Amino acid sequence: MPEHAHDWPVISVFVMGGYLNETEIGTKFIAGPSVVFYNPGAAHRNTIAADGFEQIEIEFDATWLGRSFLPTMPVQHWVGAHATHLFRACGPRGSEIRLRTALRRFLRTASAGPTREPVAWIDGIAQRLRVNPSLRVKDLAFAISRHPSWVGSAYRHATGEGVSATAARFRVERAGRLLRESELPCARIALEAGFYDQSHMNRTFQRVLGRSPTEVRADRLRFRTPLGTDHTAIVGP
């Protein structure tokens, strides 16, 4: 996505996947629960990772939210639990009032706390889970020579989601790619992506995305519709 800016404030809420975000405050790889805020005119550019990415992008009039809630920096990133809570508030069944309340609460709470960066070993845990989502906490702890209970709590504190939630998200990412790019039946995709069965995949999709595998598979029709036709070529989660 080439460098661009917006006329109104924008909040981008991570859903899944990954991308390299380049702004005037630096370069950051976004690949976990996180939120990025852009003030009007703040230029940014995204390089999408091999598996793509999905996010909820909220562009709004500052007076709708309340100018006092907006950060003063041109760009700001938050990682962790606050981002997870905001994503849940952006679900398909939410109302405008609920969304505005959630955004205000998020900006007030997240801006008041310190911005922390995940420690180095977090990336190693995530990489191992991406390759094999069935790994247990004790397996991951052994790999970095730490106690399992410490790894579990420290990982959640640093990323805003538990190890099992990360593993579920990686399974959904893998299944989502197959649903959109292949003709494989859902039962086969469930096994390929590491789910126990199709029912397990269905439940996990609803929990992680708030959408069913069937709805995600339907995206491919819209992805392949040329711009300028009756159907949008941009699909949100």
**Under 8 Å between Cβ of 102 and 86:** yes
- pLDDT value at position 235? 38
Domain map of the chain by residue range? 10-112, 120-222
Domain 120-222, CATH: 1.10.10.60
- pTM recorded for the entire structure: 0.78
b/e per residue 170-201 (b: at least 16 CB within 10 A): bbbbbbbbbbbeeeeebeebbeebbbeebebb
10-residue block means of pLDDT along the chain (237 residues)?
A: 94 90 91 91 92 88 94 88 71 77 88 64 87 92 90 86 91 92 94 95 90 89 55 38
Q: Is the four-CA dihedral 119, 122, 127, 128 of positive or negative sign?
A: positive
- pLDDT value at position 227? 46
Which residues make Cβ contacts (< 8 Å) with residue 234, sequence separation at least 6?
none
**Under 8 Å between Cβ of 182 and 175:** no
